[in-house]
Structure 1
Amino acid sequence: MDTLALVERIGESPTAALFGLITGIIFGISAQRSRFCLRAATVEFARGKMGPRVAVWLLTFSTALVWVQGAQMLGLFRGSDARIMAVTGSWSGAIIGGLMFGTGMVLARGCSGRLLVLASTGNLRSVVSGLIFAVVAQMSLHGILAPWRDKLAMLWITPNGENINLLTALHLPQQTGVALGVGIAALALYLAARHKIGPKTWIFASGVGFSVAVGWMLTWSLAQVAFDPAPITSATFSGPSANTLMFFLDRNAVLEFDIGLVPGVVLGAFLSSLIVGEFRWQAFDSVPVMRSAMIGAVLMGFGAMLAGGCAIGAGVTGGSVFAATAWLALFCMWIGAIATTHLFNLRLS
């Protein structure tokens, strides 16, 4: 794709939105078909299993690592230019926000990305939870919760006003990222074969990781030709959910990558569910389930903005460029989800 020609034809902002739409469609189709979900993987792991949900998550994560790190080696993308690497990282935000997000996604029965995909297939539970998530994310970004987010984030930050690249900090060569991705992929494929996961599922699981690489490469290519500074980013659903919500509420809002990403996911997941006959209306089963989902959405909204991203934004997108705080946030999301799963099991027993 000739990015310069596209920019000259339709402009920088529409091009950014188009790139977001492309990334979102790939993500939406792949996530809907593979049933990719960090919450499902952590719950499965918490119950002592390395089953199909863990395999799907590992396939997504490893694919993102291989494609993104491979793109850097080929000169198609430069991770040091990514927005997550160019700003101060927060260790305290990653820990506190990651734990909150992990807890929230168990209560809400899905991370923010999964809720968006489910909402697109007729799940009204996810529509309600997703809207609450977006509102709380916006409140945490620019609203009444922003001072609290800033205060917690500033408790412990990375030095020199930028994030830390784990490979650089550990003095490891660039090829290490690809090698790690290949190793994780081998484990994931072993688990897929062990649990008789069909090739369609693991291909689509890999497609979720591929969408992350597509987003990075497209926004990086735009930044190389744009007259105004263009953020280099990829799939994430905390900031974009809040920005998309405000886009439809603010007449002065402008097009950007985020504004194309969320509708792209909705469109991709919706069409995919229609094609395979999986679109169906669903609602809350009971008041306790609804209450749990709403509390979980609030925790995810604030936790994601504090952690610097959601299960996708920090866990896969940030992890693929080896942002240190993203890896820490991902670890804490797992811990929070596992602890919450055990607590609920104890309560039920």
Structure 2
Amino acid sequence: MLAIWQSFKQNYLIKYWNPVAAVIAAGIISAYYFGITGTYWAVTGEFTRWGGHLLNALGVDVSNWSYFQLIGLDGTIFTRIDGVMILGMFAGCLSAALWANNVKWHNQPHKKRIIQALIGGALAGFGARLAMGCNLASLFTGIPQFSVHAWFFTFATAIGTYFGVKVTLLPMFRVKLELKKGAAKIKENDPKQANRRFWVGMLIFITYLSASLYVMQSSIKLGFAMLCGLAFGLLIERAQICFTSAFRDLWITGRAYMAKAIIFGIIAGTIGVFSYIQLGVSPKILWAGPNAIIGGLLFGFGIVLAGGCETGWMYRSMEGQVHFMWVGVGNVVGSTLLAYY
């Protein structure tokens, strides 16, 4: 029995997952998420609300801001579907990273990279908010809704990432490498530390899973959103799902592995969403205008400049990569800035 557990642990909880299978699973889960909660898997709107709550706490009245009048600022992160779903994503990412002993504090010593992360994150957040969604709501889960704005955003994002690649390869974005005398020391993994982290990750996973099932007793939508968020977090961390790399790899190496995985995931999600639409669930259709195109261009450029999209910075920050924590800060700032206008 112990041998079976160790085999399962090594193959499914510690090793990285196949990206194609993981993205398809994310597409299927996102379809159920839409059918049961009535909304799609999205994060930018909630991040914008976080910025609004922070400004409120600092004494800034945002109730008259046009964007918050449109989407509302009612409730808290613990009472909104998007809020508990995102908390679940962070819990899932952290759990998965701890299972694999993949949590390590990676500081960002270069100020240039920090500025790059903040500006890129802000551009991505601003663009996503302008287009009414990021790589999730205006691409991965937007296209299955049969919303034309998602196609505008997707093509514009591809163009934006192309120019982002060209700009970030310029000499001005290179950092000086410092060579130090002496042989590099390879730090061996501590089995006891890895085991402790595994069980801490399992504790976080079981706690949030239990909370999801408990909340589901009183609110199906809220509890299911928590459950889906946990699943999304596990998937993006274990399979290292990042839309930035999917686009960037096309322009740098011509590698389309992650891009193909995303397409398969969109197809799976589309089939599920279409089934729910046939059952009477209203699709999430947003306006297709210049906002989707301009927003996509800014978003695409921003995610390459920053080094990661919304899903990318979320799981990497849970792995202890400080650079992507700065990307997240910039993301919230950028999306909140647009809410003002």
- TM-score w.r.t. length of structure 2: 0.65
Secondary structure of the residue that 2:337 maps to in structure 1? helix
**1:3-18 equivalent positions in 2, closer than 5 A:** 16=18, 18=20
Tell me the C-alpha RMSD between the 2 structures: 4.6
The structure with more radius of gyration: 2
Secondary structure of the residue that 1:145 maps to in structure 2? helix
In 1: Cα distance, 2:303 partner to 2:286 partner: 25
Is residue 212 of structure 2 the alignment partner of residue 213 of structure 1?
Answer: no
**Percentage identity across aligned positions?**
12
Is residue 81 of structure 2 the alignment partner of residue 56 of structure 1?
Answer: yes
Say if 1:308 and 1:50 are closer, same or farther in 2 by CA, change over 3 A.
Answer: farther
Aligned to 1:240: 246
In 2: Cα distance, 1:319 partner to 1:50 partner: 28
In 1: Cα distance, 2:145 partner to 2:44 partner: 18
CA contact (8 A) 2:164 2:302 kept: no
- Structure 1 segments unaligned to the other structure (5+ residues): 6-14, 161-172, 220-233, 345-349
Say if 1:283 and 1:174 are closer, same or farther in 2 by CA, change over 3 A.
Answer: closer
Following superposition, the deviation at residue 321 of structure 1 comes to 1.5
Following superposition, the deviation at residue 119 of structure 1 comes to 1.5
CA contact (8 A) 2:97 2:318 kept: no
In 1: Cα distance, 2:136 partner to 2:114 partner: 23
- Aligned counterpart in structure 2 of residue 320 of structure 1, from 315, 318, 321: 318
Deviations 1:231-268 (A, max 9, x none): xxx2222221454xx49xx9x95563x13431243123
Stretches (4+) displaced over 6 A: 1-5, 84-89, 157-160, 179-182
Deviations 1:97-129 (A, max 9, x none): 011111111111111221111112201111011
Aligned to 2:119: 96
Aligned to 1:119: 143
In 2: Cα distance, 1:281 partner to 1:56 partner: 15
Say if 1:310 and 1:97 are closer, same or farther in 2 by CA, change over 3 A.
Answer: same
CA contact (8 A) 1:40 1:53 kept: no
Moved more, 129-138 or 51-60: 51-60
- Aligned counterpart in structure 2 of residue 38 of structure 1, from 29, 43, 48: 43
Say if 1:262 and 1:52 are closer, same or farther in 2 by CA, change over 3 A.
Answer: farther
- TM-score w.r.t. length of structure 1: 0.64
Aligned to 2:162: 138
Say if 1:42 and 1:176 are closer, same or farther in 2 by CA, change over 3 A.
Answer: farther
**1:241-320 equivalent positions in 2, closer than 5 A:** 241-243=247-249, 246=250, 256=257, 258-277=258-277, 278=281, 284=287, 290-314=289-313, 316-320=314-318
Aligned to 1:227: none
**1:138-177 equivalent positions in 2, closer than 5 A:** 138-141=162-165, 144-147=166-169, 151-152=172-173, 154=175
Say if 1:185 and 1:159 are closer, same or farther in 2 by CA, change over 3 A.
Answer: farther
Deviations 1:245-304 (A, max 9, x none): x49xx9x95563x1343124312321231122147695746xxxx222211111111111
In 2: Cα distance, 1:95 partner to 1:159 partner: 27
Aligned to 2:90: 65
Q: Which amino acid aligns with 1:340?
A: L
Say if 1:293 and 1:126 are closer, same or farther in 2 by CA, change over 3 A.
Answer: same
Q: Which amino acid aligns with 1:259?
A: A
In 2: Cα distance, 1:147 partner to 1:101 partner: 19
CA contact (8 A) 2:235 2:241 kept: no
Following superposition, the deviation at residue 338 of structure 1 comes to 1.1
CA contact (8 A) 2:120 2:327 kept: yes
Q: Which amino acid aligns with 1:18?
A: V
Moved more, 297-306 or 32-41: 32-41
In 2: Cα distance, 1:154 partner to 1:213 partner: 33
Q: Which amino acid aligns with 1:25?
A: G
Q: How many residues align?
A: 283
Following superposition, the deviation at residue 79 of structure 1 comes to 1.8
In 1: Cα distance, 2:123 partner to 2:97 partner: 32
In 2: Cα distance, 1:215 partner to 1:283 partner: 26
In 2: Cα distance, 1:107 partner to 1:269 partner: 24
Is residue 335 of structure 2 the alignment partner of residue 329 of structure 1?
Answer: no
Say if 1:127 and 1:200 are closer, same or farther in 2 by CA, change over 3 A.
Answer: same
